[in-house]
Amino acid sequence: MTTRREQTSQESRELILAAAADLFAAKGYRQTTFADVAERSGISRGSIPWHFGSKEGLLLAVLERSTGLIRARLGDEPGESEEDPGRSGEEGLDRMAEAVAALFTLPTTKLFVTLLVEALEPGSPIQGRYVEIHKTLREHCRRSLERLPLPPELPADALSAVIIGAGIGVHQQWLLAPALVDPDRALGTLRTLLKTAMTATGR
């Protein structure tokens, strides 16, 4: 049972996390202060360290929350309902393409780009978490690909690095120049490319 007090604490925590995620994405991790987070979230400055210890603790919690949002979007593990694996080649590809496209909505993409630089710092506390997120995405993609009739010269693990990479890189091009790059069209073309390769195997 959740007491009133616990509920309020949980709500404050969520408000702080949402505000911090927006601020990290908009102005970067280093440029964001507890005062900024307090102002945006409407939660008093002093209670932020009470919830998260340090700014580093807040960063980890923001990343944890984003990973949770990604996991929720990816939905059920692919390959769990194997009722008709032969039929579902194209369908599986469509579902996977939709999941990859959905991952890259503006706020999350921007946040991940900003934090990537922090993750690349030597000794960064979020590097491990970041590696894990990329790994989760690749594994999810790989399991979807393994259900498709792809030839052996297109191994699922290498292909999943390409697909997740294209998702990341296409959205970075789009963030910089929204008028020049259409991410839906680009990722739709990647899907067509995979379908064409599946057709080429004649299976």
x-or-dash string of contact with a copy of itself, 125-144, rule CB under 8 A: --x--xx--xx--x------
Closest contact distance (angstroms) between CB of 14 and a copy of itself is 26
Closest contact distance (angstroms) between CB of 147 and a copy of itself is 17
Nearer to a copy of itself, 43 or 118 (CB): 118
Say whether residue 123 binds a copy of itself (CB under 8 A): no
Q: Which two tokens stand for residue 27?
A: 């102005």
Say whether residue 105 binds a copy of itself (CB under 8 A): no
C-alpha dihedral sign at 37, 39, 40, 44: positive
Residue pair 187/166 in contact (Cβ under 8 Å)? The answer is: yes
Report the distance separating Cα 92 and Cα 112, nearest Å.
26
Report the distance separating Cα 67 and Cα 108, nearest Å.
10
Report the distance separating Cα 174 and Cα 106, nearest Å.
10
- Of 40-48, 74-82, 93-101, 149-157, which segment contacts a copy of itself by CB under 8 A? 149-157
Token pair 């792809």 is found at: 150
Residue pair 136/71 in contact (Cβ under 8 Å)? The answer is: yes
Residue pair 172/113 in contact (Cβ under 8 Å)? The answer is: yes
**Of the residues 30, 68, 91, 94, which one makes contact with a copy of itself according to CB under 8 A:** 30
Residues of this chain that interact with a copy of itself (CB under 8 A) are 27-28, 30, 110, 113-114, 116-117, 119-121, 127, 130-131, 134-135, 138, 151, 153-155, 158-159, 161-162, 164-173, 175-177, 180-182, 185-190, 192-194, 196-197, 199-201
